[in-house]
Each structure stands twice: as C-alpha cells, then as structure tokens.
Structure 1
Amino acid sequence: MSYDSKDKAARRAAEHTEYDAIIIGAGMSGMYQLYRLRELGLNTLALEAGTGVGGTWYWNKYPGARFDSESWSYGYSFNEEILKEWSWSEHFAGQPEIQRYCNLVADKLDLKKDIRFNSRVASARYLEESNRWRVTLTDGTEFVTRYLITAIGLLSIPTMPRFEGVNDFKGVWCHTGLWPKEGIDYDGKRVAVIGTGASGIQAIQEIAKTAKSLTVFQRRPNWCTPLHNAPISTEEMEDIRARYPEIFKHCQTTAACFIHTHDPRSALDVSQEERIAFWEKLYATPGFGIWQGNFHDIHTNREVNRQLSEFVADKIRERVKAPKVAEMLIPKDHGFGTRRVPQETKYYEVFNQDNVELIAVLETPIERITPTGIRTSEREFEFDVIIYATGFDGITGAFNQIEFEGRNGRTLREEWQHGPTTFVGMMVKDFPNMFMVMGPHGALGNQPRSIEHNVDWISRVIGHMEQQGIELAAPKPEAVEEWHDFVAEKAKGLLANEVDSWMTGVNMNVQGKEKRGLVRYSGTAPEYRARCEAVISGGYEELDFDRFVPGDAVSADAKQAV
C-alpha cells in the first residue's frame, strides 16, 4: 500500500461516520447551510467534490467568467462583519475575486473544519429500519446521517456534445465548466470555441484578444446586451456599504431578486418614440436592466417582444461590420429575454477582427473531432486548442449524477421520470428528511438572495423538528400535487416557456432532454416566499411528521437555538 493510500485509509478510520446532518456541496448554498445548521447545534458535515469552496465559482475558471448580477447585490447579506470588511473591486466581479470572497467567508466563519474536500457523492439511500440516510462516496467511504441536504447547484454538471472523436484530439481541450487550475495557454494559438451560450460568450471575448486565430462554432445564437462593467472606487464602496440594508430589502421586493424591477406599464401604453427612448436608456444601463427592468409585458406579449427583439437586432447590426455575420449572430428561433440574457463586453466587436471566424454548425455540421482539429461537412480545420462551451445539464442534472433512493427502494430518477415533482422546490415525496437548496420548482433569479431564503426555511423546519422531538418530515402527496399545479399555473402565458433552454429542461447534448418540461417555478420571488412562509405560519400542515421513539434525546443546544 502506498503512503497516499495509507493516509487515506487512516483518515477514513479516524473520522466520524455518523452525523446529525450531511450537506452535499460547499458552494454558496452549502456554506450558508453549514453555518445555519451549526447554529442549531447539529453535528454537520459538508461533502465537496472539489478541493476548495465556491461551487460554481470554484469550477468555472475559464477566461472572462464573472457575475452578471451586480457584485454588491450578489454577496451574502447575513453577516454584518463580512459586509463591513469585504470590498468589491468591480460592479460585476470576475471569477478570481469571487473565489477569494468565498474563501474569506469560509475562513471568517471557520467553515472548512466541517467540510470534507475531494469527496464526490455516489449515492444516498434512505434506511427505513433506522430512519437515517446512508451516503456513499465514489471511493467507497460511507456516512450515516439523520438529515440530508443537497446544495449541488442548478448548473453544475457540464455537458459535452455527442461528437465522434473527442478523445482523439492531440491538442489541448476542455469544457469551460472544468477549466484546469493551471489554466490554458491560448496566446498565439489556433483556438476553436464550440458554443455561444453565456460561458462561451464570456470566454470568446477574452480568447480573441491574444489567440492567433479563433474559430467560433455556433449552433444557435443568443440575444446579448452590454454589461457596462466599471471599477468601484473606495468612496463608492463606502456608499454601497452604508446602503446594504436598503439594497437587500429592495431585492426582496423584485420579481427575481435583482436590483432591477419591471416597469408596471405596458409597452403599448406609450408612443413608439417613448418606447424606443426607454429601450435606448435600458441598453445603456449596466447589467440586466433591459431584461429585468423593462415593460412588464415583454415576457408575455408577442408583438411587444417582437418589437424589442428587432430593437436589439438593430444594435447587433450596428456593431458588426459584415451584414452576413451580423445576421448569423441574431437569434431567429426565440425572442429577446425568453432565455437568460448573456451579458457581454464588446462581444459583437470580436467578429470584426481579422483573426476571428464564425461557423454556423446548423448549416455546416461538425462531423467529427479529428486528431488535429475539427471536420465539418464542408472543410477540415486544424487547431491547437478546442474549448467546449456546450453548457450544463440544468436543474435536474446534478441530481441524476447521484443515486438517491427513498422509501421502498424508489429512486429519485424513477420519481422524476415524467418530470420533477417537489414541495416548494425543497422537499420530495417519500424522501424523508431530505431537503434541497435551489431544487427544481424553486425560485431562480439572483441566486444568493434565493439561497439565503431557502437555507433559512430549511433550517427553520429542522429547528422545529429538533425542538418538538420530531424524527421525520416528508411532504404529503396532496401538498406536492398542489405545488405542482401552482407552478404549472404560474408558467402559463410566459413566452419563455415556449422556448427550448435549460430553464425548460431541454439540452440537446443530454439523452432524454430533447423535450420541454415543467422544471422551474416561473412566478415571482415574493409570491414564492409568501407561500413558503405560509407553511410555517400554518403549522406545517403540508408535512407528515413522525415523533422520536421513546428514550431519544433532543439536542439541548438545538432547543436553545430555535
């Protein structure tokens, strides 16, 4: 046995195997959930596949990766000391800064002592005889826990295209979501980027600056609008810091927890001149203003959406010199804002450069990856580097990577074979004491604002169970059905739900995800929070509770913390 193997064996023998709570993931969801459960006095362990904290911001190290929400609206709101200490350098921070922030939070709150890194979960099985969960890692290590919380992310499973020959390529290649720590040298190299979604757009902007040549293979274009990023001065940061309570309170009132909120007017209530002037102003506004701060009916009225789409299309035509290339970059299969809108900085101007070429793969399909590059139906390309910006298996993908097994041996895949069903996006029928931070049918939007709400709700349920001596909690079947009906009702009339995207459960790179489904909650965040709060104020009528067996003790620390 090698020294490494001996060290690992000794570590497994020395560590605890039974916990009150186990969290899968140590991103922004997992870190805050760990903090809250420790407040309840629970012996808690977080299992993290990577070597560091941050989740999305640990794995996505590709060039150009950054926030598309304002930095100061994205960070945690719960800790006054961190809010006072941390200063953001940009309105939309880049990945290195975000990862430093996550590490500061973990160190400040001493979270890493309860995180087991390099620990990828293979399965989680509910043990009915003991009312516990057995969690097994890919290396065979097992843990037993009473509470199981998933904090595995909405977009955490990279997907590769189904091309032949991917492993034949002799140059450097990777997916943007699995960018190597040591980085990739693309300066002066012949580079291919496959995909023009959000991560592809961010990477293309940076790679084009120094690559000898950049060939972009695009299946379908996305609507993009300018990020308008800028540094944050010391004085501005002090002003932001003084306004944090106001900022976070405002985020709680908006539809998707962004600082932007929809204009209550219809676009048809104003003249064409006023409408265009308003759109010009929004196009010049930083961040998601033109998407989240627009007339409310851009998401539901086809004619309004058509006019807005044409406005943004004209902006693309103004910015791209070659008319043919401009038209290639204008979406024809969906209207503006019906998919999440990538934010860009001179993305369209990249295609004016002599070293950049755009290939439409629906017209000239990629036939295979070769040892030296890519072969399409028309020609063969040679590359030194291939970057796959081909997206993620959204919302349910991370759950499908783990074998979850609930009551009666029923797996989560079986439970969700016709689409996910949940209670308030955080619990699943017949999976007792399993909670999901940011699960299917939960509120999306500005993630940390929703994360904090979900973690707090889960912690309140668990705290109630600890205080009252309750052994098990699971949603009643009728509560799951009612929630599903509510989610379906909120999806009606939205143009976005008529479009193929990860938000409607479609990913052409994933078998079985070629058709749209009901995978997200489309209502507003305030409505969602009100419904969750009603569960607690109504005495948890939607949940089935089972009591402790006689003789079991309730944690005194937990009682005191509730």
Structure 2
Amino acid sequence: MRQRKLTEEYQNKEKDKYPEIYGRTKTTFSGFPYNVILKNGADVSREERTAAFEDLWAEGGFRFWLGNYIDLFTNRITNEHCYEFWRDKTRQRISDPVKQELLAPTKPPHHFGTKQPSLEQGYFEIYDKSNVELVSLKDNLIVEVTENTIRTSDGVEHDVDIIVFATGGISQINLKGSDGGLLSEKWASRLQTYMGVATVNYPNMFFLYGPQAPTAFCNGPVCCWITKCITYLHDNNITHIEASQEAQEEWSNTVDTIFSGQLFSETKSCYNGANIPGKKIQSLNFTGGLPAYLERINDVAEKGYEEFILDGKPAAAYA
C-alpha cells in the first residue's frame, strides 16, 4: 500500500487541491483520484504491460488494482499477466516455499482482483516469520472447536489462545413493504433495485451504500443524488416517491448484463453472493464504472425523476 507518514506541510498542500481532486473523482471509472489505463492490456506487448505494472506497483495504494488496464476484468490475457506479476512480487517477500505456494499460488485461484486483494502493508512478512504456522483450510476444514484447540479434518488439533471470528455483517432487520411482503423474501430469488437507490413497494425509502449501485468503490455520488431528490420533492410538495416495476426490471437487467461480460461472474466472492451457500449468484454492485452511473442517475433527475412514481402518479404527470 506504500503507506507513509505525511508531514503537515504536505497535508496542507494537498488540502488546497481538494476541489480539483473531488472533481476528478467523478470522471474516473472507480471514483478514485486516478483513472484506469484507457487502453486494453491485451493490445500491447507483454513488455509494455510489465512496465505499466511496475509503475503502478511503485505508486502503491489501490492503483495496481483499480488504476490498471481497462480490460483487467474482461480479458484473460491481461488478468493472468497481472496475477503473475503480483505473484512474483509477493513471493519475493516470503522465504518458505510451502508458504509461497499457499499465499501466492503458481496458478491463480481466481481471476485477479475479482475478489478483494490483500490491501496490506507487512502482511506477508508476518507469515514469513519462523514462529508463524499457516494452516490451509482449503485442504483441511475445521471440524471441531474444543476448549483449547481447533481440530481440522486431517485429525490435527491446533492449540489456540484466542479465536477471532471474522464473520462480517449479518442482516437481521425485517423490512416490510407497502404490500406486506418482507424485503428479504422479495430478494431471495433475485435482487432488484432501481439504480441501486430504491425498490418497488418501499415508498420514501432510499438506500445509502446499497446494492446495484457502484457501492464497492464509492458512495458519495449516491448521497448527493438522494439529497437533491428529497429537495426536489419538498420544493414541489410531493410526499410519496417509489420506484416503478418497469424501471426496476430494466435497471436490474442492465446490471446483470454488464456483470455477465466480466470476469467477476466467474469468481465465487462477496461481490456476487457466491460466498454464501444457496444464495443466488448475481452482481451486488453496478460494475459499469462511475461515469456511466452518474450519467444515468443525473439524466433521471434532470427529467423530473422519470420512471419513479410520485404521489401515486408517474413522474411524467408532473412535467
């Protein structure tokens, strides 16, 4: 990640650039202050790709992941070369050949970047310490937790002092719609929203950091859009807003179509729900890039929030 201490002088200098930086983030694919490389990695030589990877690696941060070639998540050639570069760089930090293969396998376990990579500093150096043992649960599952050990499927009992449960968030809230149905039941067979900010039968309810928006990368634009929408409703004495079924279906199909053409669709991850047994696999984020998303939501706002239902009538009735 190339984290470093920032001097007060440097921070003050960068703060002067805030308007420029925030303006730039609206024009980049991931909503970061830098864009992807606007050409396909598969169209250039391996030598040119390697040189680009070296530059991104040296800059640190998220750049190697989200500032890479524009076809990183759609082209196998670019993605495989990117993984090979990452693997070789990572293996230089691990002296034990067994740990090398577990932490940075010869063959990629999935397409690079389609699961969140380890955004770390010193992570692999910790594993490389002689007093650190790495147990691969892919090869030996946990079968029992006893008072002082964890037993794996190979029969080995591993002594433990502390167990950290990194289970993630669990949604237990039962949101009931205007039709009496539960949101969890509606989304069980297929997640559907309109632009990632609203869903049918839930009037006056907006999502922040919600599904089918570019949520994995940025949330600020959605917050701004919702604020402006509420202001519009207030100024026009509109008390009810709800997504229409047609708009929701169209948006969800758009999200699924973009996702199906990307390498994300071939990886079991939290980005598509495949990390949870039995859950429907589909994109939980809009992966078409922030500029395309902003163009759509801003166009809807400029047209008086068309395809929403306002006070029980289509938005066109207020035009």
User: Structure 1 length as normaliser, TM-score?
Assistant: 0.53
- Is 1:387 aligned with 2:164? yes
Q: In the alignment, does 2:186 pair up with 1:420?
A: no
Specify the alignment match of 2:178 in structure 1: 407
Q: Percent identical across equivalent pairs?
A: 34
Structure 1 residue ranges, 4+ long, deviating more than 6 angstroms after superposition: none
Residue number in structure 1 paired with 2:47: 273
SS at match of 1:436: coil
Q: Is the 8 A contact 1:267 1:295 kept in 2?
A: yes
Distance 2:44 2:112 in 1: 20
2:245 is the alignment partner of 1:474: no
Aligned residue for 1:541?
306
| Structure 2 counterpart of 1:241, one-letter code | K
List runs of 5+ in structure 2 lacking aligned partners. 313-319
Structure-to-structure mapping, 1:480-559, within 5 angstroms: 480-508=248-276, 512-513=278-279, 515-546=280-311
Give yes or no for the alignment of 1:294 onto 2:68: yes
Q: 3-state DSSP class of the match of 1:416?
A: helix
Q: Spell out, residue by residue over 1:268-300, the C-alpha distance to the aligned partner (whole angstroms, 9 max, x if none).
A: 333322221221221122201111111111211
Instruction: State the distance in 2 between where 1:437 and 1:379 align.
Output: 45
State the Cα distance separating 1:487 from its structure 2 match: 1.1
1:33-72 equivalences under 5 Å are none
Q: Which of the pair is proportionally richer in strand?
A: 1
The CA deviation string for residues 307-339 of structure 1, in whole angstroms up to 9 with x for no partner, is 111111112222211111100112532021112
What is aligned with 1:251?
25
Contact 1:506-1:516 at 8 Å conserved across structures: yes
Residue identity in the other structure for 2:311: D
Aligned partners of 1:255 and 1:525 also within 8 Å: yes
Task: State the Cα distance separating 1:342 from its structure 2 match.
Answer: 2.3
1:240-292 per-position Cα deviation (integer Å, ceiling 9, x unaligned): 01111111111111111112311112223333222212212211222011111
- Other-structure match for 1:464: 232
Question: Residue 389 of structure 1: CA displacement?
Answer: 2.8
Matched, 1:349 2:117: no
Moved more, 529-538 or 462-471: 462-471
**In the TM superposition, what whole-angstrom CA distance separates every residue of 1:369-409 from its partner, at most 9, and x where no partner exists?**
1111211123112221111234x25xxx53xx111111221
For the residue of structure 2 that corresponds to 1:239, the secondary structure is helix
In the superposition, relative to structure 1, how do residues 518 and 379 fare at CA in structure 2: closer, same or farther (>3 Å)?
Answer: same
Distance 1:445 1:253 in 2: 17
What CA distance in whole angstroms lies between the structure 2 residues aligned with 1:520 and 1:272?
A: 31
How far, CA to CA, are the matches of 1:534 and 1:382 in structure 2? Answer: 59
Q: Does the 8 Å contact 1:425/1:442 carry over to 2?
A: yes
Asked if the contact 1:422–1:440 (Cα under 8 Å) also holds between the matched residues in 2, the reply is yes
- Please state whether the residue corresponding to 1:417 is helix, strand or coil: helix
Shift of 1:436: 0.8
Structure 2 residue aligned with 1:230: 4
CA contact (8 A) 1:419 1:518 kept: no
2:195/2:212 contact within 8 Å kept? yes
8 A contact 2:215–2:286 mirrored in 1: yes
Which structure has more RCO (C-alpha within 8 Å, separation ≥ 6)? 1
Q: Closer, same or farther in 2 for the Cα pair 1:267/1:518, shift >3 Å?
A: closer
Structure 2: distance between partners of 1:453 and 1:273: 38
Provide TM-score, normalisation by structure 2.
Answer: 0.91
CA distance 1:546–1:268, change in 2 (3 Å): closer
Q: Does 1:316 align with 2:106?
A: no
Q: Distance in 2 between matches of 1:349 and 1:490?
A: 38
Give structure 1 stretches of 5+ with no counterpart. Answer: 1-226, 548-562
**Following the alignment from structure 1 to structure 2, what is the Cα–Cα distance between the partners of residues 351 and 342?**
13
CA deviation string 1:432-463 (max 9, x = no partner): 1111112110112443xx2x322222222222
Q: Give the residue type in structure 2 aligned to 1:313.
A: R
User: Equivalences for 1:100-139 in 2 at 5 Å?
Assistant: none
**Offset at 1:431?**
0.9
Looking at structure 2, the residues matched to 373 and 453 of structure 1 have their Cα atoms a distance apart, in angstroms, of 47
Residues 214 and 293, structure 2, Cα contact 8 Å, conserved in 1: yes
- Mapped contact 1:300–1:495 kept (Cα < 8 A): yes
Supply the AA of the counterpart residue of 2:232: H
The number of aligned residues is 310
SS in 2 for 1:298: coil
Partner of 2:56: 282
Q: Partners of 2:23 and 2:117 in 1: how far apart? A: 25
